[in-house]
Amino acid sequence: MSETSTAAPPATRRPALKSHRFGFLLNLTLLALLVVLWLALSVSTDSFATFGNFENLLRQDSMWSIMAVGQTFVIITAGIDLSVGAVVGLTSTIIAMMLAGGVPIWAAIIVTLIIGVVLGAINAFGIVNLRLPPFIMTLATMTALRSFGLLITDGQTIGGLPLNFILFSSHRTLGIPNLFIIVILIAIPCYFLLHRSRWGRYLFAVGSNPEAARLSGVSVNRTIYLAYIVSALLASVVGVLVASRIGIGVATTGQGWELQSIASSVIGGASLFGAVGSVIGPLLGAMLLTTINNGANLLNVNPFWQGIITGLLIIVIVYFDQLRRRKTR
């Protein structure tokens, strides 16, 4: 047996996730689409292919990228997190209040991230322990957290943030905008967590068949907690970054970003039915949406078109995804 079993594996050089082959093709397509868009915009506008604009593009992209990666973790478990936009708003307000109140930057960041973890745990508590559908639970926290931010600031803008904190987002390291460096620093551990760790495998198992996962000794509850905590933690990172970028605390920041993050995730190949998704996918998806956004601004397209383009893109990509599913069945 040992002879044949050592001979067998060559057929299975890829990791044992079937989504990889299609995912790889989709990622290539997205990348190609991006390149085409970039080339087209470089030709049709004077301002796109400038250093300043490209930097700006990367900065815009960082926010949505980080949120989209977190959202993907949740979507892989066949859930959805509508609260991420509100978490961004609330955490950016809270860190602004702390900094304005003289709390050291490092302490303010740590506290904000802890708040993110707690907010994710609250979502998971509602879904796991109270058995609420993810859509409902995160809709409720989205509504409540947004109002909570307005309540504690009384709807006012928080100013007076330390200059060092504000400058972080406009500086660059080794020529790369700091914000985008954060994306890379987050994407790498997320990649290992999702694609190389046992917990990542459990996320896929729970999204594919929670019953089979439970019967195999997987703690489904803990896995769901993990997904929502990662999502809210990454949203609170974005909260910190966005406070630095705009230099003030505004409770309404991040409105509608939950939909951007879901769109990025889905465009990047995640399936709302669960068990399909990657880390690179939402990064490309977010970059595509940012480029469309940026390009539309430069081309002086009525900004209301952007939503329409995003909507059509989602329909096209999910349609092809369904088509593939029907074939494999």
Partner 1 sequence: MDNLAPDTPILELRQVDKRFLGTHALKQVDLAFRQGEIHAIVGENGAGKSTLIKILTGAHIRTAGTILFQGKEVALASPLEAISLGINAVHQEVVLCTHLTVAANIFLGDERTNGGLLRDRAMVAEAQRLLDDLGFDLPAGAVLGDLAIGQQQLVATARAAARGVKFLIFDEPTAYLTRQDTDKLFRLIRRLNAEGVTIVYISHRMEEIFQLADRVSVLRDGQKVATHVVAETNERELIRDMVARTIEEVHYKEHIPAGDMLLEVTGLSGPGFRDVSLTVRRGEVVGLYGLVGAGRSEFVQCLFGRTKRIAGEVKLKGETVAIRHESDAIERGIALVPESRRDQGLCLNMGVGFNLNLPVFGRISPMGLVDTRAEKRDAAKQIGDLRIVAASASVPAATLSGGNQQKIVVGKWLNHGAELFIFDEPTVGVDVGTKVEIYKVFAALLKAGAGIILISSYLPEVYDLSDRLHVFSRGTIVASHEAKAAHPETILSEAIGV
**Where along the sequence are the contacts to partner 1 (CB under 8 A)?**
1, 4-6, 8-9, 11-12, 14-18, 20, 192, 196-202, 204-205, 208-209, 211-219, 275-276, 328-329
Judged by CB, which is closer to partner 1: 173, or 326?
Answer: 326
Judged by CB, which is closer to partner 1: 218, or 243?
Answer: 218
Judged by CB, which is closer to partner 1: 16, or 174?
Answer: 16
Q: Minimum distance from CB of 171 to partner 1 (Å)?
A: 33
Mention every residue, 6+ apart, whose C-beta is less than 8 A from residue 316: none
Mention every residue, 6+ apart, whose C-beta is less than 8 A from residue 321: 269, 271
Q: Minimum distance from CB of 232 to partner 1 (Å)?
A: 21
Judged by CB, which is closer to partner 1: 171, or 324?
Answer: 324
Q: Minimum distance from CB of 60 to partner 1 (Å)?
A: 33
Pairwise CA distance, residues 262 & 142, whole Å:
14
Q: Minimum distance from CB of 79 to partner 1 (Å)?
A: 16
Distance of CA 304 to the CA centre of its chain: 23
Pairwise CA distance, residues 92 & 87, whole Å:
8
Q: What is the largest CA-CA distance in the chain?
A: 73
Q: Minimum distance from CB of 246 to partner 1 (Å)?
A: 37
Judged by CB, which is closer to partner 1: 172, or 201?
Answer: 201
Cα angle 129-133-134, degrees, rounded to a multiple of 5: 90
What is the residue type of 225?
A: Y
Judged by CB, which is closer to partner 1: 101, or 189?
Answer: 189
Q: Minimum distance from CB of 102 to partner 1 (Å)?
A: 39
Q: What is the DSSP letter of 156?
A: P
Cα angle 83-194-135, degrees, rounded to a multiple of 5: 25
